Amino acid sequence: MRRDARIYVAGHRGLVGSAIVRRLQNDGYENLIVRTHKELDLTDREAVESFFTEEKPEYVILAAAKVGGIHANNAYPADFIFQNLAIQGNVIDAAYRHKTEKLLFLGSSCIYPKLAPQPMREDVLLTGPLEPTNQAYAIAKIAGLEMCRSYYRQYGFRSVSLMPTNLYGPYDNFDLENSHVLPAMMRKFHDAKERGDKQVTLWGSGTPRREFLHADDLASAAVFLMNNHEDPDLVNVGVGEDVTIRELAETVRSAVGWNGEIVWDSSKPDGTPRKLMDVSKIHSLGWRHSIEFEDGVRDTYEWFKNNMAGTLR
């Protein structure tokens, strides 16, 4: 991508989009196009059409999506499938029709089968049933991936599809009802520390294993692939290592500095037993992560304390 290219980053205020904007700016890209949700509702086809007609972005990074943790996915499946299908359909189609040079689509590791062989290779997609608690979201993301593939096959529209593992970092969602596991734990432990609570209850058994990638590393991979990769098929982006949810809890508790007791509520769902990405493909292309997990968690908590702690009640 030329340094002066018009690059539209959809979802620039979120965890992923904000990291990609920081990365692009640090790499010298100065002609970035952004819109807040209030300024542009990506589920509104007419609004998206007007935006592309006016701005004519040369590159599109589609980081906008409705996302959430196990509770939100399980409680609001209609919202997750409708909004994500609408966002993807509107943006990908408009980008093609307005002659965008290349688009980056962001999927999720949850698109893989619940009991996929570990670590999960890109070719295990659609080889088994999905995790029921986030099936609606996963199906929407699979549809977005297939839309990119189909527009390449039929029209030659260039795209890159990233399948990131579990992400964390600055600008994450720390809402206890709708957040992912790491920021939810961080918020719970922080609140317990502030109140002087001696005990925190967490969902599940703590035995599932998860892989975590810092959002800044994902942004690095996104820019790398936009500049160095030409293939409509998906590419896993992760670290290639995982931890148990109990180990995650200990790491987050240590970063927060709370010394109370963790109680595990095994009546709550665990979700998929394990989700570890096979990252041999992206390694072979020349990219690897650079932020180690414990360092990233500590830095994320520092950002949370400085930017979010006083605003949450």
pLDDT digits (tens, 9 = 90+) for 95-110: 999 999 999 999 988 8
* Distance, CA of 254 to CA of 121 (rounded, Å): 33
DSSP 168-196: E-TT----TTT--HHHHHHHHHHHHHHHT
Fold type of domain 7-171+211-241+275-292? Rossmann fold (3.40.50)
| The pLDDT of residue 273 | 85
* Distance, CA of 103 to CA of 230 (rounded, Å): 11
* Distance, CA of 163 to CA of 126 (rounded, Å): 14
13 is in an annotated binding site: yes
* Distance, CA of 54 to CA of 62 (rounded, Å): 18
Above pLDDT 90, what percent of the chain? 85
C-alpha torsion angle, residues 24, 29, 33, 38 (rounded to 10): 30
Q: CB atoms < 10 A from the CB of 206, how many?
A: 18
* Distance, CA of 262 to CA of 247 (rounded, Å): 12
Domain ranges of the chain: 7-171+211-241+275-292
77 is in an annotated binding site: no
270 is in an annotated binding site: yes
Kindly name the residue from 59, 96, 137, 168 that is annotated as catalytic: 137
Contact 143, 88 (CB under 8 A): yes
pTM of the model: 0.92
| The pLDDT of residue 232 | 86
> Comparing 74 with 195, which gets the higher pLDDT?
195
Over residues 46-63, the pLDDT tens digits come to 999 999 999 999 999 999
117 is in an annotated binding site: no
Residue 59 annotated as catalytic: no
What's the sign of the alpha-carbon dihedral 75, 79, 82, 87?
negative
